[in-house]
Amino acid sequence: MSAEILVNVRPNLTRVAFVEEGLLMDFKEERAASPTLVGGIFRGKVLRVLPGMQAAFVDIGLDRSAFLYVGDVRQDVDHLPSFLLEEDEENSEGSSGDENQESAVANTPIQDLLHAGQTIMVQVAKDPLGTKGARITTHISFAGRNLVYMPTVNHLGVSRKIESEQERERLLKIVQDLRPEGGVIIRTACEGSPQEHIQADLDYLQRLWKGVEKAYNKRKTPGMIHSELDVELRALRDLLRDGIQRVRVDDVKAHKKIVNFIGQFMPKYKDSVELYEGKSALFDLYDIDLEISRALERKVWLKSGGYIVIDEAEALVVIDVNTGRYVGKKDLEDTILKINLEAVKEIVHQLRIRNCGGIIIIDFIDMEKPVHREKVMTQLEQELAKDTVRTTMTPMSEFGLVEMTRKRTRPSLVSSLCEPCPYCDGTSYVKKVSTVAQEIFMALEREPAKSSNSAGDAKGLVVRCRGDVADWIYSEEQETLEFIEKRLGLAVVFRVEQDFHVEQFEVGDQLQAENL
């Protein structure tokens, strides 16, 4: 299976695409003006402790206070932290460390752990999303190529994705012999690595921790003391593996930085890095920009003619599967099954590219046969197994609904590349002209009662509104307009303002209008 990593660098933007068999499978981008904070370590100051929420707000030097939940507050006990940076850690099996004490920690009231004005070291687990501040933890974690080092816990684990029991035992013995101070999780990428590579990785991560401790003690105000790697280096650390033929980079400086990074931490892949100097844009080799544009659309068409609709809210994603133009050939149930199975692949594909997270509800087309439901759920489980982000899923309901969660640490593609429509203010709809017309009629009937001029002094009423609204009133509501004029004893004149929003209008008497 051919796979490539493409790194597109511009002065203020870096984009990384993971392509498999010519298809975009994963996409990351980072702007110089707004880099991700996930993995960054800060000196924080507790602002408020909220016993009712069992949480605290912490000043870490950003515009908005960060949120710290009681389960993310470290005590002087040995337990596995609730925040782990990578999917390997979340799918790891522990071999040492007292994890049974975790529940005891979670049951300790936060007011007994923190107090206002207290200074603490924290790490960002989730970037600020929407109106929410960053989610932070006191459990520090450093992700390397082969290992994740957790200096504040006593835990040794290995990724479940390493299936060979013999290899698992070999890796565990190597780490145990190294006797690290703190916790270690062996990542999937560590499979087959010699002891010297593992030791070099651990030494590097321990040096990082010592540097962070010094920076924390040196800094006196809330703020960052350690940042994560740049997006292209993070992508290579997490994605580069056997089976990836090439890493193409279209910038000389970035190419040099990547070669040095791979030479230090992943030397066997050093020859796979290539400086791209082609005439066409790097992302045009696989129509990456076209695929990104497709991922920003609400409706995504399937090859058969069916389609899925993806609606994204702040903490909820709803996906609806429809037959569209596909009518099948023979049996209705077979037609529905084919659409649902095809939709499963596209849904998981879109979740990865769009980086959707939180609660996800999938509304499949209703299937009467239990065996068909099982096929769809099996297919969904197989596709999600390829996803590097942790997901959990509930069984399909009798209405064809599947509820799942997908871990979210950074904003989705839509929220990163788009902003709420200034015209509809993010509602995704505007009022019909008929609705605006009725609002105008109601405002006209209220106007004489609230006007400073009496109805007898006014020459008439002037309505300033969009031209299409006025045209609709004259063509469809002429009778209603005459009824209101007769009832008020006033003429109503429309003044067209094409710069107005379709929902915008103003009503005033003619004397006021003439004075404008």
> Among the three residues 199, 227, 255, which one is the final residue of a domain in this structure?
227
- What is the structure's pLDDT at 97? 43
* pLDDT confidence tier of residue 47, bands split at 50, 70 and 90: very high
* pLDDT confidence tier of residue 81, bands split at 50, 70 and 90: very low
| Tens of pLDDT, residues 358-411 | 999 999 999 988 999 999 999 999 999 888 788 999 999 988 899 999 987 678
Go through the chain and tell me how many residues it has. Answer: 516
In a domain, 428, yes or no: no
Q: Is residue 321 located within the same domain as residue 467?
A: no
Q: Is the pLDDT of residue 345 over 90?
A: yes
Q: Is residue 23 located within the same domain as residue 101?
A: no
Buried b / exposed e along 41-64 (16+ C-beta atoms within 10 A): bbbbbbeebeeeebbbbbbbebee
The range of the structural domain enclosing residue 274 comes to 3-33+242-288
Residue among 235, 298, 318 nearest 8 (CA): 235
Average pLDDT estimate for 186-210: 90
Average pLDDT estimate for 75-81: 46
Average pLDDT estimate for 5-20: 93
Radius of gyration of the chain (CA): 30
Average pLDDT estimate for 230-244: 87
- Say what the pTM is: 0.76
| Tens of pLDDT, residues 432-457 | 999 999 999 999 988 765 554 444 55
Q: Is residue 175 located within the same domain as residue 90?
A: yes
Q: Is the pLDDT of residue 90 over 70?
A: no
- What is the structure's pLDDT at 439? 95
> Among the three residues 384, 417, 450, which one is the final residue of a domain in this structure?
417
Residue among 285, 397, 367 nearest 4 (CA): 285
Q: Is the pLDDT of residue 259 over 90?
A: yes
* pLDDT confidence tier of residue 218, bands split at 50, 70 and 90: very high
CATH (domain of 280): 3.30.420.60
Q: Is residue 400 located within the same domain as residue 437?
A: no
In a domain, 112, yes or no: yes
| Tens of pLDDT, residues 478-516 | 999 999 999 988 899 999 999 999 999 999 876 554 544
Measured distance CA(16)–CA(323) in Å, rounded = 34
- The continuous run of DSSP H or E covering 478 comes out as helix 478-488
- What is the structure's pLDDT at 383? 92
Neighbours of 425 (CB within 10 A): 11
